[in-house]
C-alpha cells in the first residue's frame, strides 16, 4: 500500500507534527479537502485551468537522438512547457481553488529558490487574492530574478531575518503568520512535504502528470506501462506526480534522483535518502539530514529546487520499502547532462531536471526498454549558472 492511511502515514512516515496552535488550521483542511476536490464543479474548474491556463496536457515527446545514444526508447514528459515553466503550477492551481472554497481571503507561502513563490503569486493574481511570500533574506539576494517576478505579479515578499536567513527560517515565519491568521488565510505548501494532509493533497494535484503519461504511452506504444520512470526529487512533488498512477504496478521501476551536490560524503550535499535519518521536519516524520543531536544540516546543491534537507514522507516510504530506487547525481554530472540534452534535443532543461537526465549514465536497464524521464522544468532560469560553466562542459 502506497496511499496514505487515514492518520496521514505512508508506512512509518508522515503524520502531522504541529504546534497546538496550528491544529485548527490543519484540521480544517484535513476535514474538507477530499470532499471539496472530488466535487464535480471543483474538478471542472481545475481541469479547465490546467488545459486553458497551464497548457495541459503537456506533450510526451519521444527523444529520438537521446534514445539512440542510450539504446533505449526514451520519452520526455514535458512539464517544462507548463505556464511559468515547471510543474509547480499544477499544485498551486489546485490549492488556490481549494482556498477559495474554504473562503480564505489571504494566501501565504514560503519559498527558497523562488520557484514556488512565483507559482503561488501567479495563481493569486489569477484569482485576485492577496499573496504574501516569506523568503530568507539571503535567498532574496541570491534569487533576485524570481523576487522581481513575484513583485511584478503583485505579491508581497517578506524577508525572514532569523537564523541562516534561508528556507527553514522562511518556513518558521509562514507558520507564525498562519497561527496569527487562522481563519482567513490558507498556507500553500509547494511540495509533497509538511503535515498531513499536504503531502497526499499535493501528490493528488500533481498526479495529472502520470494520468496523462498513461494515456499518451498507450496512444504511442500500445502499452500504458513504461519499464522505468525517472524523476528528480527535492521535496518530491514532480516525482510523486510522475509515479502516482504507477505505484501499484510493480512492473514499472521508479527511480528517484537526488542531488549529491559536491559528493554524497562531502558535507555539501542534498542526498537525503543516503545520509539522512528518521526525524521530524516541516511537520512530518520522514528522512532528513540532521546532526546527532537533531539539528537540521544545511543542504547544498547547485540546483536551488533540490537544495532541501528532507524528502517527502511518501518517498521515504517508497525508497525504504524498495518500491522506488534512489540514486544521486553531483553538480558536475547534472551540468554535463544539461549541455548534452541541449545539444542532442534542442531542449535546455532546468538544473533540477538535468539531475534526472544524468541518471541515465548510472541506471541499469535493458536495451530497448521504454523509459520516461520527467522534464520538470525549463532551463531559462539557470542560464547564468550554465554560462559560468560553459568552458568546462560545452
Ligand X SMILES: *Cc1c(COP(=O)(O)O)cnc(C)c1O
> Which amino acids are annotated catalytic?
88, 110, 376
CA distances from 289 to 209, 261, 299, 327 (A): 29, 14, 8, 16
216 binds ligand X (CB under 6 A): no
Q: Which is nearer to ligand X, 58 or 237 (CB)?
A: 237
The strands making up 156-160's β-sheet, listed across from edge to edge, are: 156-160, 130-136, 106-111, 185-187
With H, G, I as helix, E, B as strand and everything else as coil, classify residue 38: helix
| C-alpha cell at position 165 | 536567513
Q: How far is the CB of 286 from ligand X (least distance, A)?
A: 13
DSSP conformation class of 286: E
- b/e map of 68-94 (b: 16 or more CB within 10 Å)? eebebbbbbbbbbbbbbbbbbbbbbbb
186 binds ligand X (CB under 6 A): no
Map residues 251-270 to x or -, x wherever contact with ligand X holds by CB under 6 A: --------------------
Q: How far is the CB of 274 from ligand X (least distance, A)?
A: 16
72 binds ligand X (CB under 6 A): no
Q: How far is the CB of 366 from ligand X (least distance, A)?
A: 28
Q: How far is the CB of 41 from ligand X (least distance, A)?
A: 28
Residues 338-367 that bind ligand X (CB under 6 A): 350, 352-353
377 binds ligand X (CB under 6 A): yes
Q: How far is the CB of 368 from ligand X (least distance, A)?
A: 28
Which residues does residue 162 pair with via DSSP β-bridges, in sequence order? none
115 binds ligand X (CB under 6 A): yes
226 binds ligand X (CB under 6 A): no
Q: Is 250 exposed, middle or buried (0-12, 13-18, 19+ CB in 10 A)?
A: exposed
- Answer for which of 73, 111, 143, 238 binds ligand X (CB under 6 A) is 238
Map residues 302-321 to x or -, x wherever contact with ligand X holds by CB under 6 A: ---xx---------------
With H, G, I as helix, E, B as strand and everything else as coil, classify residue 116: helix
> Could you give the CA distance from residue 55 to residue 53 in angstroms, rounded to a whole number?
6
Q: Which is nearer to ligand X, 26 or 202 (CB)?
A: 202
Q: Which is nearer to ligand X, 73 or 115 (CB)?
A: 115
Residues 79-108 that bind ligand X (CB under 6 A): 86, 88
Contacts 24+ apart (CB under 8 A), 65-70: 65/344, 65/345, 66/341, 66/344, 66/345, 69/344, 70/360
Q: Which is nearer to ligand X, 238 or 273 (CB)?
A: 238
Options 51-59, 208-216, 227-235, 316-324: segment touching ligand X (CB under 6 A): 227-235
8 A C-beta contact, residue 381 and residue 348: no
Residues forming contacts to ligand X in the complex (CB under 6 A) are 86, 88, 115, 191, 232-238, 305-306, 350, 352-353, 376-377
Amino acid at each position: 500500500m502506497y496511499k496514505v492511511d487515514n492518520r496521514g502515514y505512508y508506512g512509518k512516515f508522515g503524520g502531522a507534527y504541529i504546534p497546538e496552535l496550528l491544529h485548527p488550521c490543519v484540521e480544517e483542511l484535513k476535514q474538507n479537502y477530499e470532499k471539496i476536490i472530488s466535487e464535480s464543479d471543483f474538478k471542472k474548474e481545475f481541469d479547465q485551468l490546467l488545459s486553458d491556463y497551464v497548457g495541459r496536457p503537456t506533450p510526451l515527446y519521444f527523444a529520438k537522438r537521446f534514445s539512440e545514444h542510450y539504446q533505449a526508447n526514451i520519452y520526455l514528459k514535458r512539464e517544462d512547457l507548463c505556464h511559468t515553466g515547471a510543474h509547480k503550477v499544477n499544485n498551486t492551481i489546485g490549492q488556490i481553488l481549494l482556498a477559495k472554497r474554504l473562503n480564505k481571503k489571504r494566501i501565504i507561502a514560503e519559498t527558497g529558490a523562488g520557484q514556488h513563490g512565483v507559482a503561488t503569486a501567479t495563481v493569486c493574481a489569477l484569482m485576485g487574492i492577496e499573496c504574501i511570500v516569506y523568503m530568507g533574506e539571503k535567498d532574496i539576494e541570491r534569487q533576485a530574478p524570481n523576487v522581481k517576478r513575484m513583485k511584478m505579479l503583485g505579491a508581497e515578499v517578506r524577508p525572514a531575518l532569523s537564523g541562516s536567513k534561508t528556507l527553514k527560517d522562511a518556513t518558521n515565519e509562514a507558520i507564525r503568520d498562519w497561527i496569527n491568521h487562522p481563519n482567513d488565510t490558507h498556507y500553500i505548501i509547494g511540495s509533497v512535504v509538511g503535515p498531513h494532509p499536504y503531502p497526499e493533497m499535493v501528490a493528488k494535484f500533481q498526479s495529472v502528470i502520470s494520468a496523462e503519461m498513461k494515456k499518451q504511452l498507450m496512444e504511442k506504444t500500445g502499452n500504458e506501462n513504461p519499464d522505468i520512470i525517472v524523476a528528480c526529487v527535492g521535496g518530491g512533488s514532480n516525482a510523486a506526480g510522475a509515479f502516482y498512477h504507477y505505484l501499484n504496478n510493480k512492473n514499472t521501476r521508479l527511480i528517484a534522483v537526488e542531488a549529491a551536490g559536491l559528493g554524497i560524503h562531502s558535507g555539501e550535499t542534498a542526498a537525503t535518502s543516503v545520509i539522512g535519518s528518521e526525524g521530524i521536519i516541516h511537520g512530518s516524520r520522514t528522512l532528513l539530514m540532521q546532526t546527532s543531536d537533531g539539528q537540521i544540516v544545511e543542504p547544498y546543491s547547485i540546483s536551488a529546487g533540490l537544495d532541501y534537507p528532507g524528502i517527502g514522507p511518501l518517498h521515504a516510504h517508497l525508497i525504504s520499502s524498495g518500491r522506488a530506487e534512489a540514486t544521486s547525481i553531483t553538480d558536475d554530472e547534472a551540468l554535463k547532462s544539461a549541455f548534452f540534452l541541449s545539444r542532442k534535443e534542442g531542449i535546455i532543461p532546468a538544473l533540477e531536471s538535468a539531475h534526472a537526465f544524468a541518471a541515465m549514465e548510472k541506471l541499469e536497464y535493458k536495451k530497448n526498454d521504454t523509459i520516461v524521464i520527467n522534464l520538470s522544468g525549463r532551463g531559462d532560469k539557470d542560464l547564468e549558472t550554465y554560462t559560468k560553466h560553459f568552458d568546462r562542459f560545452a
